[in-house]
Structure 1
């Protein structure tokens, strides 16, 4: 029975992971293993005067796995899994409790299981500790390299086009890329969390704003690009820094740009961090004409009430909804609702992750005004982004 359960668990977890739902796969696996170990302890591994319970030892490596995941995904669900594993270990270590209808395994079998399970659980715990130490060292090394990358000028901004209903470029989103000297490009999904943990996001974010302002200043000199807007992602830690809005205004003055050409993108996680402070900062920036976009709308934890309070100018529909809306009725209904909500609130609505004409047609029919995705252009260096403008000017 146990082998069948574990086999089915592996199949379900693999199916979820292959479908791109890696986080869900991890949660399902951890919950199932926790339930399996607890059931095994309470139903079959019942201690007696001669043989102790040992199956609960597997709860320690399970808690360690949870902690390793928690370092990269600090979710309440993961914290609950860690706590449940540790509490289960303490309770089962301190009592001989078993279910009233328990069916203990015979002692002549358990006498071998005590040794085998203890050895396996100890080995798994040691492996988890090794993996945790390796992850800590990797993160520390990555953080040091990130700090060096700033003065080595290893960062670069890529630009992904944003277009209107007619396919005309109306702007771009600036996306941070990092290629260490002599090395391969490192994914933002890897280095941005490391920069956040190391407290470097403020410095890196300021560099991004400087480069974005320079780009806008250059675009203003060209008839073909002066109408373009540039969107810049700002992390929660950077936005909540004292004086962030003042530094943005100083940069605008230094580079002499039109602030209405700049758009700051915030995720919903920023809204829940400190709603009053976020609102005050946004009003300061909005007062000079800077656009404020809510990125990845629908994937975070914010209340719809924030949409009434915040001086937003744009909603961005998350790519996960766009990519599934043609096959999933719920995603399609959600996209329609987001577009209509944005229109009712007099906000621009932009869909991310657009890859097919079918998606464009659906979005257009439902009132979406702007698009961003591989169908219209991949993120590219500034020189490559400028080539269509240069060709048009010629």
Structure 2
């Protein structure tokens, strides 16, 4: 659960997806309109041909602006231009006839859904106005044969083909918008709305990934948050953590994680195979920098009666947005009662030796991206060696996360890394599976206590 990094990655990915969708839609509309402009010109329908150049140009401009990253400008220009074009085309050219019905007004539905989607992306009175106006216009043109005096209807021979083509395109665009709307409802705002209920209804769950020492002995675990949704199944943390961060729910979610972790440590305290394990939880910057965080941790530790030295709080370097003085003060308060701190994803944020000396950090976690690069290039290997050496020189326990292969483990072990975490040693699993894994590993050397230890662990 690394909310700041996940939030940034999710937002960037979502923006790229939205931009690509508008580029594609703009290009499709431009090509479709150009096709009709050519058809009308070939039939010497010059007024219609010129009219179709309007959405063609608009689509091209929209594509260029979207490609340049000016998404808000695309939306305003495209929606206004197409609303005006559809209205004018229905009034002047696409009038109801006995042999072929009007179909251009169907695009008002697509425009309405587009406006609502854009309103969900960024609240806007303009987008809601476009949505409402498009729906009203659709009803008006679908209910009566509204047209301007002197209208020039499209020739019947062309209309009979256009009815099918335009209806097919408008339906395809509407289907695409509905799919986009469905994605919007599962991330991120709708997800955020369901999170408080998920906490109340016990849908959140901690999974545990082992952390091992040089000898492969499990010395602790990192608690990773999972959400078992009653309808959608397991919801990825990449979806609900950024949603919670955006909605300001991370202090609430993080508070639940803290309580659940303390409850786990309290249960382990009386179990010989588990009582010496440490448990690490991730703390978001918004949670850590909130007033009263240190007091909340102290109260929770006291409430569950756990050994505070077994609880480890993992912070990313982004926590320093709260100011190094305030961060150091809060960390020192908790350090005095035995809480330890790990600096997570080291090297990916605001890495600085100056703040490392001023913060009471106990452990340095090498980011998985560095671990993967360590066996892929000499530069990557040199970087990891230097991080390990620096951590050891500063008397930190150096832990490498994301260890997935024997080659990575061997390199890190020989390089002086103290502890390890990753799929090579075990995936995140429910608490029962993790406890059995720990007990089974210990009982390899003491098989005569098998029944007693399993009973104690559960």
Give the TM-score of the pair, scaled to structure 2.
0.61
Please point out which of 300, 303, 306 is paired with 1:254. Answer: 303
| 1:272 paired to 2:344 | no
* Secondary structure of 2:233 counterpart: coil
Instruction: Identify unmatched segments of 5+ residues in structure 1.
Output: 1-19, 35-50, 64-80, 91-123
Sort the Cα spacing of 1:220 and 1:125 in 2 relative to 1 into closer, same or farther, 3 A. Answer: same
Q: 1: CA distance between counterparts of 2:344 and 2:243?
A: 21
The aligned counterpart of 2:140 is none
Q: 2: CA distance between counterparts of 1:193 and 1:369?
A: 31
1:101-141: CA deviation from partner (whole Å, max 9, x where unpaired): xxxxxxxxxxxxxxxxxxxxxxx999975654446654332
Please point out which of 391, 395, 403 is paired with 1:346. Answer: 395
| 1:316 paired to 2:321 | no
Q: 2: CA distance between counterparts of 1:219 and 1:180?
A: 28
Instruction: Identify unmatched segments of 5+ residues in structure 2.
Output: 1-8, 24-52, 78-109, 121-180, 444-448, 451-458
Report the alpha carbon displacement of residue 62 of structure 1 after superposing the two structures with TM.
Answer: 4.1
Q: 2: CA distance between counterparts of 1:284 and 1:59?
A: 54
The aligned counterpart of 2:63 is 58
Larger CA deviation: 165-174 vs 300-309: 300-309
Maintained 8 Å contact 1:272/1:301? no
Q: 2: CA distance between counterparts of 1:234 and 1:56?
A: 45
User: What is the number of equivalent residue pairs in this alignment?
Assistant: 309
| 1:188 paired to 2:237 | yes
The aligned counterpart of 1:231 is 280
Sort the Cα spacing of 1:183 and 1:200 in 2 relative to 1 into closer, same or farther, 3 A. Answer: same
Q: 1: CA distance between counterparts of 2:255 and 2:116?
A: 36
| 1:218 paired to 2:267 | yes
Task: List 4+ stretches of structure 1 deviating above 6 A.
Answer: 51-54, 124-128
The aligned counterpart of 2:422 is 373
Sort the Cα spacing of 1:137 and 1:321 in 2 relative to 1 into closer, same or farther, 3 A. Answer: same
The aligned counterpart of 1:142 is 191
Q: 1: CA distance between counterparts of 2:351 and 2:70?
A: 25
Q: 2: CA distance between counterparts of 1:128 and 1:344?
A: 57
The aligned counterpart of 1:243 is 292
Larger CA deviation: 344-353 vs 293-302: 293-302
Please point out which of 330, 337, 353 is paired with 1:304. Answer: 353
1:248-271: CA deviation from partner (whole Å, max 9, x where unpaired): 001111111111111000011112
Sort the Cα spacing of 1:327 and 1:219 in 2 relative to 1 into closer, same or farther, 3 A. Answer: same
* Secondary structure of 1:300 counterpart: coil
Report the alpha carbon displacement of residue 58 of structure 1 after superposing the two structures with TM.
Answer: 3.2
| 1:200 paired to 2:200 | no
Sort the Cα spacing of 1:137 and 1:212 in 2 relative to 1 into closer, same or farther, 3 A. Answer: same
Q: 2: CA distance between counterparts of 1:322 and 1:390?
A: 29
Q: 1: CA distance between counterparts of 2:65 and 2:185?
A: 22
Report the alpha carbon displacement of residue 330 of structure 1 after superposing the two structures with TM.
Answer: 2.2
Maintained 8 Å contact 2:218/2:438? no
Sort the Cα spacing of 1:125 and 1:321 in 2 relative to 1 into closer, same or farther, 3 A. Answer: farther
* Secondary structure of 1:179 counterpart: strand
Sort the Cα spacing of 1:376 and 1:242 in 2 relative to 1 into closer, same or farther, 3 A. Answer: same
The aligned counterpart of 2:142 is none
* Secondary structure of 2:211 counterpart: strand
The aligned counterpart of 1:105 is none
Q: C-alpha root-mean-square deviation of aligned residues, in Å? A: 3.4
| 1:293 paired to 2:293 | no
* Secondary structure of 1:212 counterpart: helix
Q: 1: CA distance between counterparts of 2:225 and 2:319?
A: 19
| 1:174 paired to 2:223 | yes
Give the TM-score of the pair, scaled to structure 1.
0.70
Q: Which has the larger radius of gyration?
A: 2
Maintained 8 Å contact 1:312/1:347? yes
Sort the Cα spacing of 1:297 and 1:254 in 2 relative to 1 into closer, same or farther, 3 A. Answer: same
1:77-100: CA deviation from partner (whole Å, max 9, x where unpaired): xxxx559x969x99xxxxxxxxxx
Report the alpha carbon displacement of residue 56 of structure 1 after superposing the two structures with TM.
Answer: 4.6
Q: 2: CA distance between counterparts of 1:137 and 1:218?
A: 38
Larger CA deviation: 166-175 vs 304-313: 304-313
* Secondary structure of 1:380 counterpart: coil
1:231-262: CA deviation from partner (whole Å, max 9, x where unpaired): 00001111111100101001111111111111
